[in-house]
Chain A
Amino acid sequence: MKKHVPLALFVVIVMGLPVLLKNPYYIGALVFVGIYSLITISLSLVLGYAGQISLGHAAFYGIGAYTSGLLTTRWHVSPWFALACSMVITGILAYAIGKPVLKLRGHYLAMATLGLGEIVYIFFNSAVDLTAGPSGFGQIPRLAIGGLVFKDDIRFYYLVWFTVAVLLALVLNIINSRIGRALRSIHGSETAANAMGVNTASYKIQIFVFSAVISAVAGGYYAHFVTFISPTTFDANTSILLVTMVIVGGMSNVWGAVLGAALLGTLPEYLRRFGDYDILVYGAIMMVIMMFAPGGLVSLAGLVKQKFVGNLSREPAA
């Protein structure tokens, strides 16, 4: 029962935040954090647990957004069905891509995924007849359940964060299952894992496809929330930003992925007061975190816990 405590706490915080904040601007910014969190949580499985770097996740995010956006605006498919289609299409593509790419290692894998992301980005830009090219397209319909349209920020906030909570529950289960143990063994040593009879290739591809499909959901949410998409949202910078969120948050732990998305997703808003200097402060904050907390933000939480909780638990014994 105890292992459900963090998740329950998370749900309470997420439910309570809008009551405290009220302001639609903050809520809107938190919607983007939720969208990023979906990707970073699933990416942390690939990166932190399976130890496979992907610098191309913006491509899956983009394919999700474009599939959902195009199906609803061009062919007037219902948004939910379009979202489902985008998950299936992204899943198939991720499988086809992942099969050969995941055989690569380290920097080679990084370049290959970066390259694939670029190819998808070039496709969004160049297939003008299909995607409307670099200028993008708008008037994407909003999601709705029956008569309830996810029109204002607050409704979308609950939708996104509900999805995040479900995903977290799912991922926490995966981590503590057979698959989770297999993934960690790949991170440790792939050769050893193979020797122990773990079918590493199969697990790697499963988790890669899973995270791609979740990224597609995030993309679909983005498309239906902003109602306008253009290729720049899904370029290599976004891929790098997503990986940065995972690492800054702390990739040894899924909660780190949420923390990283929350910090780097809202940082541009905090930094507004710095005007032009925001880019310098942003870089400096990132550098300081990585230099002094190489384990990411969650490792800081770990330190605090050691200091306080550790002391507390020791006291009775003394």
Chain B
Amino acid sequence: MHSFSITLQYIFTGIAVGSIYAMVALGFNIIYNCTGIINFAQGEFVMLGGMFMITLTTTWKLPSLVAFPIAVALVVLVGVGFERIAIHPLKSPSVLVLIMITIAGSILIKGVAMFAWGKEPCYLPHFSSETPINFLGATILPQNLWILGCLAAVVIVLAWFFNRTLVGKAMRACAHNRDAARLVGINVKQMVTLSFALSAAIGAVAGIVITPIILMDYQRGAMLALKGFGAAILGGLGSGPGAVVAGLLIGVLESLGAGYISSHYKDAIALVVLLGVLFIRPAGLLGSAEIQRLKKF
């Protein structure tokens, strides 16, 4: 292999992996913006997306195009249900308590998934062919293109939603200042529910597109959540573009680290870079230190 092709291959791999981190990070951001909390159950939304898709397509034999929206809808239902049961009824909870509740939620969702789908990894066929596409000596799977496509679609829809629709603008208002938003007549609690729905949907999409490549089992969400959290922080909490850039960056760093330095320490390399960035820019790459100061936690 030519050394240029090798580098290109590392970058392709990194982008493919990183686009998943980016999607998970986007999910974190939406809930963070509305509530100020990190939802530790975000990884479970990803896992559920993949699992529902598997059941719908293999057990129920639904065509993928039909199963896809149903799977997303089911995860949204779980996300909204979780928010309604465990978070909505609380009066002025602290950020740490909310985070603990999401940790408990993730344990519960994981437990139910274990009984529903068993402990072995489940498998989903690729959306289109499995024949790799060759590009300047490096290869990429059609499924990787699906992942990138989904990331692009999610980004476009979110940009449209937050900039062009009234509800989206209301959610942004909550993110900037909850009290002011309440004063102008926005139902902040409804916005919180909506943020859970939205980030559950994004998680589900991510879960569905990666399952053919990574297989899915009930405890798969934890690692994806951890990486996504890293991406959200690196990009600057609350920043959409930050999440995408940082997700891809972490993916590429891991891949280059594994290729050129040591696969034993590849995750550590990405983390060292993350820490380095935080020491220089304590609010992440694209985060604002000013906004950060206004947040409770």
Contacts and interface: CB of A to CB of B under 8 A. Distances in A.
A291 B271 contact: no
Task: Name the residue among A111, A276, A291 with the largest chain B CB count within 10 angstroms.
Answer: A111
B38 interface: yes
Interface stretch (A30-38, A71-79, A169-177, A279-287): A279-287
Given A283-B107, A286-B104, A290-B104, A108 B237 contact: yes
A112 interface: yes
A111 B230 contact: yes
Interface in A104-132: 104-108, 110-112, 114-116, 118-119, 122-123, 125-126
Given A118-B267, A122-B268, A279 B103 contact: no
B251 interface: no
A115 B264 contact: no
A235 B286 CA distance: 30
A104 B274 CA distance: 13
Contacts of B32: 107
B89 A291 contact: yes
Contacts of B279: 100, 103
A302 B170 CA distance: 40
B217 to A, nearest CB: 14
Contacts of A123: 268
Contacts of B38: 107, 110
Contact of B297 (A100, A106, A114, A115): A106
A114 B230 CA distance: 9
B94 interface: yes
B237 A107 contact: yes
B267 A122 contact: yes
A280 B233 contact: no
Contacts of B104: 283-284, 286-287, 290
B114 A108 contact: no
A12 to B, nearest CB: 32
B96 A53 contact: yes
B275 interface: yes
Interface string B78-95: 000000001001100111
A112 B275 contact: yes
B145 to A, nearest CB: 31
Contact of B107 (A115, A116, A236, A286): A286
Given A279-B111, A290-B104, A108 B282 contact: yes
Interface string B219-253: 00000001001100100010000000000000000
Interface residues of A, number: 39
A53 B101 CA distance: 16
Interface stretch (A58-66, A86-94, A206-214, A240-248): A240-248
A283 B100 contact: no
A294 interface: yes
Contacts of A251: 96
B278 A247 contact: no
Contacts, number: 106
A280 B284 CA distance: 36
Nearest to A118: B271
B268 A280 contact: no
Contacts of A103: 279, 282
B30 to A, nearest CB: 15
Interface string A259-289: 0000000000000000011011011101100
Nearest to A97: B275
A105 B292 contact: yes
Contacts of A247: 96-97, 100
Contacts of B284: 108
Contacts of B115: 276
Contacts of B233: 107-108, 111
B112 interface: yes
A279 B110 contact: yes
Given A122-B265, A290-B100, A291-B89, A108 B271 contact: no
Contact of B108 (A110, A115, A280): A280
A112 B104 CA distance: 22
B40 to A, nearest CB: 8
Contacts of A279: 107, 110-111, 114
A50 to B, nearest CB: 14
24 contacts: A104-B278, A104-B282, A106-B95, A106-B292, A108-B278, A108-B284, A111-B229, A111-B278, A115-B274, A118-B226, A118-B271, A119-B271, A122-B265, A125-B264, A126-B268, A276-B114, A277-B111, A279-B111, A280-B108, A283-B105, A286-B107, A287-B86, A287-B105, A294-B93
Interface of B: 32, 38, 86, 89-90, 93-97, 100-101, 103-105, 107-108, 110-112, 114-115, 226, 229-230, 233, 237, 264-265, 267-268, 271-272, 274-275, 278-279, 282-284, 292, 295, 297
8 smallest A-B Cβ distances: which pairs?
A283-B107, A287-B104, A283-B108, A126-B264, A286-B104, A279-B111, A111-B233, A280-B111
